[in-house]
Amino acid sequence: MKDPNNTRDVGPRVWSPLWIYLTSVTVVGLALLFASLYGLGLPGAEALFGLPLFWVVATMAVLGELRPIVTPGTTDTNGAPTSTPFSFALLIYAGLPAAVLVQAAAAVAAGLATGKAPHRTAFNVSQYTVSLGAAALVFGLFPGQPPRPWVPAGAELLVVALAALVYFVVNLGLVECAVAMHERTSVTRILRQDFGYQLFVSLALLSVAPLVVVAMDTSAALVPLFGLPLIAVHTNASLSMKREYQAHHDELTGLPNRKLLVVRTEEALAEAERDGHRAGLLLLDLDRFKEVNDTLGHPTGDRLLQTVAHRLAHSVRPGDVVARLGGDEFAILLPVIRDTAAAREVAARVRVALAEPVRLDGLAFELEASVGIALHPDHAPDFELLMQRADVAMYLAKESRGGVEVYAADKDRNSTMRLSLFGELRRAVDRGELQLHYQPKIALNDGRVVGMEALVRWPHPRRGMLLPGDFIPMAEQSYLMRDLTHQVVDMALAQVSRWWRIGLAVQVSVNVSARDLLDTALIEVIKEGLGTHGVSPQALQLEITERVLMTDPAYVGDTVQGLAELGVALALDDFGTGYSSLARLKRLPVEEIKIDSSIVSRAVESHDDKVITGSIIDLVRGLGLRTVAEGVETPEVAALLTEMGCDAAQGWHFTPAMDARSATGWLAEYLQITPVMPALREGDIAG
């Protein structure tokens, strides 16, 4: 049976409804226990204790209480105890006093062995005593008290079956009412969660009791034989539960993982729809966690994550689910929540719990977290959209430095049409349906190819070929951006590896977003990809938008510096739209500045824009950096940029973006290089 306090070892608040209920049940149960023992009397107790059979059954009951049957979806605290067949058999064979005495001893022994709080053990003793008392009352309602010892037979087994059913109903009701009060939810909801499991397992165990009675009446030596099949069932169930636990829980923290979060959230949303209440999802990301890993190493970072997990699990309400999504990202499911104000209270409590300094390796760490909140049905009808919108809110909380943000449609830069594509985009990423096209960067002074920019494309089955602007903004505000970027980087590295193997030594650049630079795993992903594909870091360039470095310098600075230290070339994209200061530009570890196409395209039409473009080129040259003009579409613009001293350019004037196969052929022809024929296989041309 469930333990009503399985997430806490502290007692309920005095005079709270739960405290009153637990106290009432405990008082009634202990009173019935002492009354039963008083009715047994000293002579009866001495006679009972003198029977070897009593001690054999008592031992089996204690061992059974210590080894409940647990199955996937349950825990040791709500598994069915295998003491049930023995205590119920003792009720049938010897009467209530013997049964409650043995079951009480078993519950106390289990409480001491597992370190349960005294109030929990007292409630367990009482719940069993009241349940056994209710079953004994069934026996007393029928004419004629059964003789002791009693071995039922024939029609008497129907009475035993009714008593077993009453025992199950009373025991389940006592526990589930306590759990419902503890989790502040309805008894109906709690019963709906595991009634089928409890009914099947508990009645199966109770059905063994008459067989135990027959063995008791025959020989005490036969009773331990029932332990063998129960041990087998317990062992198989435990192994099954262990496998299920490993599949649904994070190995480092022991918290539920994303897979289990999906299941629990979908259950909560279905229940919210049925009962007409709200459910909530909080996404939480630790701020500046990467500093810990970089300074003290991953083992210390892992210990810090374990501390965070412990604090999160003990700062939420009973019934809420805390999950680790990966890295330093966590989620909190609120199956029942009143409104956004209540959700904010949970988020604030979580942040306060995390803010307490953590001491590791002689150092004190102060943690902060950004939390995004989305509610059902207010913000999303299903799990995918709920997760996406909580993620949007979390990202906004990180951008605003406010700590907590509730999803608001007017702050979501995604249109309704784009949001409708989110599920399709997720499936496209999972299936590897995205493609990379490549656009050359041409040196203006001599026409050399100085690089190829990788541009992601999505061949949509109905909408045709979608450009980055059609889906990247949506992905940037969701958890999907991380997977998309990792996949694009891997595809680009695989292609540049093929090109270098056939003699086309060209650098490939990949765009990364603000969300990517907040991903502490980006450096490791790139490092691993370089090793997997056997590519030198100099063969890869990452393009970072100017706006990102202006709005998030503290958050992305470490990632940018780490990429530079790795040896990966960095370029500042869309320059001229973010108003970078000269001092900041000089400090950035970039080697290339890409002038935004909006400025370049107007240079031949407006004297002011021509002056601005020339000033940017002179400024960048003075800092010792290379300039690349984007969006060059006419020979007039190309000639003007060459005259101004711009180093390189890209755009339709030279060639549009090409798929991998076309880009390979174009490179080979443009460079007038015959690819190395032994290596020129199908896979060497394009992925």
pLDDT per residue over 75-120, tens digit each? 444 567 888 999 999 999 999 999 999 999 999 998 998 888 898 9
Pair (34, 52) in one structural domain: yes
Pair (268, 234) in one structural domain: no
Phi, psi at residue 365, to the nearest 5°? Answer: -115, 135
**Residue finishing a domain among 248, 282, 310:** 248
Q: What is the pLDDT of residue 293?
A: 62
Pair (103, 183) in one structural domain: yes
Q: How confident is the model at residue 608 (pLDDT cuts 50, 70, 90)?
A: confident
Q: What is the CATH number of the domain that holds 336?
A: 3.30.70.270
Q: What is the pLDDT of residue 557?
A: 66
d(CA 270, CA 377): 11
Burial of 375 (0-12, 13-18, 19+ CB in 10 A): buried
Spatial neighbors of 542 by CB under 8 A, at least 6 apart, are 509, 510, 511, 512, 563, 568, 569, 570, 571
Pair (423, 488) in one structural domain: yes
- Has residue 223 got a pLDDT over 80? yes
159 is written with which tokens?
């009475």
- Has residue 72 got a pLDDT over 70? no
d(CA 470, CA 249): 36
Pair (357, 266) in one structural domain: yes
Q: What is the pLDDT of residue 2?
A: 45
Q: What is the CATH number of the domain that holds 144?
A: 1.10.1760.20
Residue 314 belongs to domain spanning: 258-412
**Residue finishing a domain among 192, 220, 248:** 248
Q: What is the pLDDT of residue 1?
A: 45
Buried b or exposed e, range 310-333, using 16+ CB within 10 angstroms: ebbbebbbbbbbbbbbebbbbbbb
- Stretch 238-259: mean pLDDT, rounded? 84
Pair (268, 371) in one structural domain: yes
> Which residue carries 């022991």 as its tokens?
254
In a domain, 253, yes or no: no
- Has residue 63 got a pLDDT over 70? yes
Spatial neighbors of 194 by CB under 8 A, at least 6 apart, are 2, 73, 74, 78
What is the tens place of the pLDDT at every residue in 517-574? Answer: 767 678 888 999 999 999 999 999 998 876 555 544 555 667 777 888 889 988 888 7
Pair (350, 242) in one structural domain: no
Pair (440, 559) in one structural domain: yes
The one-letter amino acid code at 91 reads L
In a domain, 487, yes or no: yes
Q: What is the pLDDT of residue 345?
A: 92
- Has residue 585 got a pLDDT over 70? no
In a domain, 493, yes or no: yes
- Has residue 499 got a pLDDT over 60? yes
Pair (134, 84) in one structural domain: yes
Burial of 392 (0-12, 13-18, 19+ CB in 10 A): buried
In a domain, 491, yes or no: yes
- Has residue 433 got a pLDDT over 70? yes
Angle at 305 between CA 302 and CA 311, to 5 degrees: 150
Pair (500, 631) in one structural domain: yes
Q: What is the CATH number of the domain that holds 559?
A: 3.20.20.450
Q: What is the pLDDT of residue 7?
A: 39
- More confident: 421 or 541: 541
- Stretch 663-668: mean pLDDT, rounded? 92
What is the tens place of the pLDDT at every residue in 270-303? Answer: 989 988 899 999 999 887 676 666 556 678 888 8
- In this prediction the pTM is 0.52
The conformational region for residue 545 under phi > 0 = left, psi -120 to 50 = alpha, else beta, is beta
Average pLDDT value over all residues in the chain: 84
Determine if the peptide bond prior to 377 is cis (ω within 30°).
Answer: yes
Closest residue by Cα to residue 432 from 490, 376, 388, 374 = 490
Pair (189, 272) in one structural domain: no
- Has residue 334 got a pLDDT over 90? yes
What is the tens place of the pLDDT at every residue in 149-170? Answer: 899 988 889 999 999 999 999 9
Total domains in the fold of the chain: 3
- Which helix H or strand E contains 658, and what residues bound it? strand 658-659
In a domain, 681, yes or no: no
d(CA 344, CA 83): 44
In a domain, 527, yes or no: yes
Pair (92, 222) in one structural domain: yes
What is the tens place of the pLDDT at every residue in 232-248? Answer: 777 777 777 777 778 88
C-alpha dist (Å) from residue 60 to 194, 402, 448, 489: 26, 58, 85, 61
**Residue finishing a domain among 183, 213, 248:** 248
In a domain, 1, yes or no: no
Could you give the maximum distance between any two Cα atoms of the chain, in Å?
114
- Stretch 651-669: mean pLDDT, rounded? 92
Buried b or exposed e, range 199-223, using 16+ CB within 10 angstroms: eebbbebbebbbebbebbeeebeeb
- Has residue 8 got a pLDDT over 70? no
